[in-house]
Homo-oligomer: A and B are copies of this chain.
């Protein structure tokens, strides 16, 4: 086997074992990431590849003597280094902007006061629990979403709905007092209670909080009533289609906008393409994709998730490692969306999901 085909052969083996579409280029990305960092979670983050793919590749490269696991460090052996050299793999050089962390927007003077207020409240927020597949973003991420949407004209005097709000976007929006109306739907009673209580304490009359299971049809009175939606759906094609569909159903139609996140850790680019096709089929145009915009705070149930079981090294992540890209979509073709009940359909799992 010549060097050129080694990464290709590994791609094929990993694809076979994980049932995920994996190509030579994906293997190369993981090798580049191992050159940059020896921590499993950092390798996942830098490679922007699904957790099961990264774990499987490391496992078989260890078997073949190209990778060694020393304590909790993942490193190339001399043979591994030679392989990288043969295949022309280079370490990653990331030129991310240190001011905005690559988000394109900053929390400038006009957002400072509401952001400080939000930070005060945030320390009291309920912790992420596994029952609802939760993992929330940093307060800076939540406010950066608002800065981005405001830069697109999607906040001031607009009617905004937040579908599932572990990230406290609705509460943050209410604190800015910029939207005309904010409605938030969430299944977790703890989050519903927290936002309701804080809204009352701060006199945020523009925020309406409702307990609702998004697998169930949306309440009729919310259909076609909003300018903008935010959501953070599970990443199977079926779940993303269903949740974005719910979002589109709440919009007034043409020109309505939506924001949601999509990771590389749970979704290969092959899956991204299928998800993008779903968006276009719903009459949406994709207007922004900003890589790794959303930074998630490490959650308490790390050791219970599949990713932990897959990890070749059982070391808890110390730094945040789970990121997602933000998508902005806008309605340019009105296509009817259904409001069906999804309670009994299994839309949450596929081969690439590992943090549930």
Given A26-B255, A255-B24, the answer on whether A110 and B97 have CB atoms closer than 8 Å is no
Segment of A52-60, A125-133, A150-158, A336-344 engaged in the interface with chain B: A150-158
CB-defined interface of A1-39 with B at 8 Å, one 1/0 digit per residue?
A: 000000000000000000001011110110010000000
Query: Is B153 a contact of A29 with CB atoms below 8 Å?
Result: yes
Partner of A23, one of B94, B106, B180, B255: B255
Whether A287 is near chain B, meaning CB under 8 Å from some CB there, is: yes
Chain B residue, CB-CB nearest to A105:
B95
Whether A285 is near chain B, meaning CB under 8 Å from some CB there, is: yes
- B contact residues around A148 at 8 Å (CB): 95
Partner of A287, one of B92, B157, B272, B280: B272
- B contact residues around A89 at 8 Å (CB): 157
Query: Is B276 a contact of A90 with CB atoms below 8 Å?
Result: no
Query: Is B333 a contact of A273 with CB atoms below 8 Å?
Result: yes
Partner of A254, one of B24, B104, B284, B291: B24
For the complex, count residues of A whose C-beta is within 8 A of B.
Answer: 59
Whether A107 is near chain B, meaning CB under 8 Å from some CB there, is: yes
Query: Is A105 a contact of B105 with CB atoms below 8 Å?
Result: no
Query: Is A151 a contact of B96 with CB atoms below 8 Å?
Result: yes
Whether A345 is near chain B, meaning CB under 8 Å from some CB there, is: no
Query: Is A94 a contact of B151 with CB atoms below 8 Å?
Result: yes
Whether A290 is near chain B, meaning CB under 8 Å from some CB there, is: yes
Query: Is A332 a contact of B273 with CB atoms below 8 Å?
Result: yes
Cα separation A284 to B103 with both chains bound (whole Å): 24
- B contact residues around A95 at 8 Å (CB): 105-108, 110-111, 147-148, 150-151
- B contact residues around A255 at 8 Å (CB): 23-26, 28
Given A99-B100, A269-B330, the answer on whether A93 and B110 have CB atoms closer than 8 Å is yes
Please indicate which of the listed interface residues A111, A153, A156, A287 has the most CB atoms of chain B within 10 Å of its own CB.
A153
Partner of A104, one of B104, B110, B273, B287: B104
List 9 A-B pairs, minimum CB-CB distance, nearest first. Answer: A25-B255, A97-B100, A99-B99, A273-B285, A90-B156, A95-B147, A102-B104, A88-B157, A95-B105
For the complex with contacts A97-B105, A103-B104, A269-B287, 6 further pairs of A-B residues with Cβ separation under 8 Å are A23-B332, A90-B157, A95-B110, A276-B285, A277-B280, A287-B291
Seen from chain A, the residues whose Cβ lies within 8 Å of a Cβ on chain B are 21, 23-26, 28-29, 32, 88-90, 92-100, 102-108, 110-111, 147-148, 150-151, 153, 156-157, 180, 254-256, 268-270, 272-273, 276-277, 280, 284-291, 330, 332-333
A-B contact pairs, 11 of them (CB 8 A): A90-B153, A95-B106, A96-B105, A96-B106, A97-B97, A97-B99, A272-B287, A273-B280, A280-B280, A287-B289, A288-B289
